[in-house]
Amino acid sequence: MNDPMTPISVDEPFQFCCSPGVPCFNACCRDLNQFLYPYDILRLKHHLGVSSTRFLERYATVHVGPESGLPIVSLTADYTDKFKCPFVSPEGCRVYRDRPAACRMYPLARALSRNRETGELTEHFALLKEPHCCGFDQDGSQTVEEWVEDQDLADYNRMNDRMLEIISIKNQRHPAVLDIKSQYLFRLALYDLDEFRDQVFEKGILADMKLDPDQFEAARTDDVALLELGMLFIKKELFGETE
């Protein structure tokens, strides 16, 4: 079987277009196993007008990775209807403006490598050309760089890269499975932002951390600032990392 993943450079064009007129429209929103990053949940819960706690209860499944002990959050698909995404409709995605990063990136895949000497990160892209997808038969061509810009991926990539950095630090400094308390803090600070805000401003969970006063105050009302604060907390509290 041919490998559907083909490496592609950032300035290389590829032919692809998805729209309601494509025969397979909405097909990729079924048979779903969609993992969610913290920033995905931040955007989705705002779009839906629900708290992060409610989003996790209603739309997400959380399990613990058997090797890492890290909480893993995935979108709860409708098992009664071919594991359909809960946000898809006959007309398309109901949360399109704030859809997850993986949906935005498709049909591309993105990975990062880090130079061990300089720490510099390099992006790598691949084109995922699945045989059932008719989008590759449509008119429309763009480079990888143009696709990333058109799909508004910059903020997603920036926040998701910071999450991957935390996972990398965890693997280096704490390769064992996280204990129950650490699992709870990881889930709280990165995925359940509304509950984390209560813990920060009502119960003083960050009282022992030296924080920038402006960033701390911004986190009262700005979820992105709060998520960034949560990432700092996890790096320090669980893995002893300071910036």
For CA atoms 194, 192, 163, 238, give the dihedral sign.
Answer: positive
| Residue count (the chain) | 243
Model confidence at 243, pLDDT cuts 50, 70, 90, reads low
Q: Is the pLDDT of residue 28 over 80?
A: yes
Predicted confidence (pLDDT) per residue in 117-149, tens digit: 887 889 999 999 988 899 999 988 999 999 999
- From CA 18, how far away is CA 23, in angstroms rounded? 10
Predicted confidence (pLDDT) per residue in 169-190, tens digit: 999 998 888 999 999 999 999 9
Would you say 71 and 34 are in contact if contact means Cβ atoms under 8 Å apart? no
Q: Which two tokens stand for residue 149?
A: 């810009």
Model confidence at 2, pLDDT cuts 50, 70, 90, reads low
- From CA 40, how far away is CA 157, in angstroms rounded? 11
Backbone torsions φ then ψ of 61, nearest 5 degrees:
-120, 130
Amino acid at 236: K
Q: Is the pLDDT of residue 78 over 90?
A: no
Averaged pLDDT for residues 24-46: 93
- From CA 232, how far away is CA 210, in angstroms rounded? 11
Model confidence at 193, pLDDT cuts 50, 70, 90, reads very high
Backbone torsions φ then ψ of 75, nearest 5 degrees:
-70, 135
Q: Which residues of 17-26 are buried (b: 16+ CB within 10 A; e: fewer)?
A: ebeeebeebb
Model confidence at 239, pLDDT cuts 50, 70, 90, reads very high
Q: What is the pLDDT of residue 231?
A: 97
Q: What is the pLDDT of residue 3?
A: 60
Burial label for 229, CB within 10 Å (0-12, 13-18, 19+), is buried
- Which H or E run includes 5? strand 5-8
Q: What is the pLDDT of residue 1?
A: 43
Burial label for 225, CB within 10 Å (0-12, 13-18, 19+), is middle
DSSP 8-state class, residue 209: S
Q: Which of 108, 93, 75, 91 is nearest to 7 (CA)?
A: 108
Q: Is the pLDDT of residue 82 over 90?
A: no
